Chains A and B, each alone.
Chain A
Amino acid sequence: MTTTTSALRRYLDRPELLLLPSLAIGLLFFYGFMLWTGWLSMTRSSLLPSNEFVGLLQYQRLFLDERWLHALGNLLRFAGLFVAIPLLLGLALAILLDQKLRAEGALRLIYLHPMALSLIVTGTVWRWLLDPELGLAQGVRQLGFASFRLDWLADEEMALYTLVIAAVWQITGFVMAVFLAGLRAVDDAVLQAARLDGASGFTLYRRIVLPTLGPSLFSALLVLLPAAIKSFDLVVALTDGGPGQSSELPALYMFQMAFERSRLGLGAASSMVMLMMVLAIAIPYAYARGRKGRGHDA
């Protein structure tokens, strides 16, 4: 094959053009619609989309809305626990599981299975488990503790924490798996050497093992933080934001404003605020990955 023909072939045969349809569609559906939402958030749209530009009025309304501020406050409390508890618990479980146990496979299977379930299923299950009349409360009463009460679902102070309980149940196994993978990647030779130097048990972990878990921690955070901000399904299935608005999170607020209360502009503004929060996490990450030009998993 001569150089001319191969040059010609290269010119004629440009597979990257096959990407164009996907690129065009992706650009429109992801980024075009994102900009459209941004535009909606600056119009007077209510029941129907309108093109009357009103600047930042919807954002002003949004941040004057007690309900939204409340939802943001809830998100702060929810996200803090939703990140902290699975990280600590997941790390603890991973370390315990890493002790060369017999039952490791079975235990891992048990810890991880909630990840296979949809959050709607998770919410449904926990709604019954935490039901003040039935569920665990009734079970404990029947065990003889007649005055036992568990009415967190009906309690404005506690309802948000029922979301945490169910979400922790759902995600901790995943965090554990991430940390376990990190632990398994620690070089055995390093551990041997440290042991020879007299390090053992707790010290070994604190000095040698934990410092190597940075990337695992980072992966876990990269999943947990956006998941917290996006939380919607679980709220719908478990508390529906109630009682009152005590367990409402931004995603539910957005959905209700846009789809049930005919306040498109306000709903769009709230989703843009959520977008900003997610992008604050995603863009530095994508930038770092892009600079590296390659990565191991998406």
Chain B
Amino acid sequence: MMLKRSLIYALLALFALYFALPLAFMLLNSLKSSAELRDGAFLAWPRAPELSAWRAAWDALGGSFVNSLLLAVPVVTLSSLLAALNGFILCKFRFRGSELVFIGLLVALFLPIKVYLLPLAISLAKLGLGKSLGVLIAIHVIYSLPLALFFRNHYLGFPDELLRAARIDGAGFWALFLRIVLPLSKPVFVVVVILQFTTIWNEYLFGLVFTEADGRPITAALAQLGATGEGGVRDYNVEMAAALLAALPTLAVYLLAGKHFTRGLVAGAVKG
């Protein structure tokens, strides 16, 4: 099944351009000065690469970059540990209705955020819970409950004999979970943590609705940066740097753990 090699390479290279150019182009323009932009050679190489746009982007978005970190790290930690626990129970302790719980989680994975956004906003307002990072963290952890499915599927491959042997040796549930199950869960944790970090970092709607000015995660701040451009020539060098800044952490994860990243996305891309 060897097609013509040169033709294949040419086609693939052409598509590589389509996929690679936007980011390359962002990088180029983020390294230009505002003066150079006004001269306006958009596709040109920067004359004297400089970081002023990056500094401006950090001034505008640095705070929300930190917000996103303060959001993503606890959410990823809490939600994946909780999911491991729930997934383990769901998999190895079948009870009446456990299939129903499974289907409930599966459907929940598909539900559009907009279906519960209004009641969520109404109840938080009624409870007087302000828009804060803590609330946002809790919301994200709750709506990450279907993550348990990943662990459940992973644990399906666990030999019951292993668990039974440990029980006979006197291990209670927690000993079983903490000493045997968790250490054997590393591969699925890698996938889930990457998927979850990417999802939470890139999430926009919750971040927009449940935060205010200083508490914005980076996606919401970036969207507003674009929306509030002043008349005349907009500083697209700053916007390019800002967009790259927002993209850096997930791109880094992607480059460092590409294989797991793809697996996670394939498994979890229905979220959102």
Contact = CB atoms under 8 A, between A and B. Distances in A.
A201 B103 CA distance: 42
Interface string B215-238: 000011011001100000000100
A227 B85 CA distance: 29
Interface of chain B: mostly helix, strand, loop or mixed: helix
A33 B119 contact: yes
Given A113-B251, A116-B251, A118-B250, 5 more contacts: A26-B108, A36-B116, A125-B23, A125-B243, A201-B2
A18 B174 CA distance: 11
Given A128-B239, A178-B266, A251 B112 contact: yes
B246 A30 contact: no
Nearest 5 A-B pairs (CB), nearest first? Answer: A118-B202, A139-B43, A33-B116, A298-B149, A282-B110
A15 interface: yes
Given A118-B246, A226-B110, A258-B118, A101 B9 contact: yes
Interface residues of B, number: 101
A279 B203 CA distance: 22
A99 B84 CA distance: 39
A99 B11 CA distance: 13
Interface stretch (A53-61, A64-72, A233-241): A233-241
Nearest to B255: A109
A134 interface: yes
A205 interface: yes
Interface stretch (B14-22, B46-54, B69-77, B127-135): B14-22
A16 B95 contact: yes
A233 to B, nearest CB: 5
A283 B142 contact: no
A16 B93 CA distance: 6
A237 B112 CA distance: 19
A50 B222 CA distance: 35
Contacts of A32: 119
B34 interface: no
A49 B142 CA distance: 24
B266 A219 contact: yes
Contacts of B272: 226-227, 230
A290 interface: yes
B184 interface: no
Interface stretch (A73-81, A155-163, A264-272): A264-272
Contacts of B35: none
A254 interface: yes
A267 B112 CA distance: 13
A3 interface: no
A151 to B, nearest CB: 15
A233 B122 CA distance: 22
B110 A278 contact: yes
A96 interface: yes
Contacts of A191: 1
Contact of B247 (A117, A272, A290): A117
B222 A274 contact: no
A214 to B, nearest CB: 16
Contacts of B102: 290
B267 interface: yes
Contact of B116 (A30, A285, A295): A30
Given A16-B93, A40-B119, A119-B204, A125 B270 contact: no
A210 interface: no
Q: Give the most central of B90, B223, B251: most A CB within 10 Å.
A: B223
Contacts of A254: 114
Nearest to A128: B236
Contacts of B269: 174, 223, 227
B166 interface: no
Given A237-B223, A274-B112, A278-B112, A298 B268 contact: yes
A290 B114 contact: no
A246 to B, nearest CB: 18
Given A113-B23, A113-B254, A26 B104 contact: yes
A200 B16 CA distance: 27
A194 to B, nearest CB: 10
Given A139-B42, A227-B272, A93 B115 contact: no
Interface string B135-175: 00000001101101110110010000000000010001100
A190 to B, nearest CB: 12
B20 A236 contact: no
A287 interface: yes
Given A15-B93, A19-B90, A129-B25, A204 B205 contact: no
B173 A15 contact: yes
B211 interface: no
A240 B226 CA distance: 11
B182 interface: no
A23 B247 CA distance: 34
A128 B22 CA distance: 10
